[in-house]
Amino acid sequence: MNQYQNILVAIDFSDYGMEVALKAKQLVEQFNAQLSVIHVLDNIPMPDTPYGMVIPLDTTDLTNELLEIEKDKFKQICDQLNIDAARRRLVWGEPQHEITQLASDENIDLIVVGSHGRHGLAVLMGSTAKGVLYHAECDVLAVHLQD
């Protein structure tokens, strides 16, 4: 098997995110590699409240506020995983494109994704995982997640 040196884990903020990240962390230790993390903001996240999703009237404030929430979540996960500040990527865009683009730009040799995530189990493999597998120029590991 290749000796991976630069591993990229793609995390969504679903319940499975940490499971995928921990698998990547194991591989990093096994190969003595570097770990980078990416989360792609692909929509305006809505906060959960006891009343359900809340949509404030001022959308500029809403976007900024929600962005801060997403930044916070990302920071917490990265801190928990002990990721170097320089290896954290929070970007806007289309997940499969941003993930594979970053992998090419940064000489990543293994991308780790979950077999599914926010888009559920409608098909066996999530759409992002499939897209990454199709477009990546390096190896891709899809962590099998139980429903």
Residues near ligand AMP, by CB under 6 A? 10-12, 16, 20, 38-40, 42, 95, 113-114, 116-119, 126-129
Least distance (Å) from ligand AMP to the CB of residue 39?
5
Nearer to ligand AMP, 77 or 113 (CB): 113
CA distance 75 to 83: 9
Q: Of 107, 104, 67, 102, which Cα lies nearest the Cα of 88? A: 102
Least distance (Å) from ligand AMP to the CB of residue 139?
15
What residues contact 69, with CB distance under 8 A and at least 6 apart?
45, 47
Nearer to ligand AMP, 22 or 61 (CB): 22
**73 phi/psi in degrees, rounded to 5:** -60, -45
Residue nearest ligand AMP, Cβ-based: 126
Nearer to ligand AMP, 62 or 125 (CB): 125
Least distance (Å) from ligand AMP to the CB of residue 51?
26
Q: For the chain, give me the number of helices (H) and strands (E)?
A: 4, 7
Nearer to ligand AMP, 33 or 37 (CB): 37
Q: Give the H/E segment covering residue 37.
A: strand 34-41
Least distance (Å) from ligand AMP to the CB of residue 67?
14
Q: Of 9, 51, 39, which Cα lies nearest the Cα of 27? A: 9
Least distance (Å) from ligand AMP to the CB of residue 60?
23
User: Which one-letter amino acid corresponds to residue 135?
Assistant: H
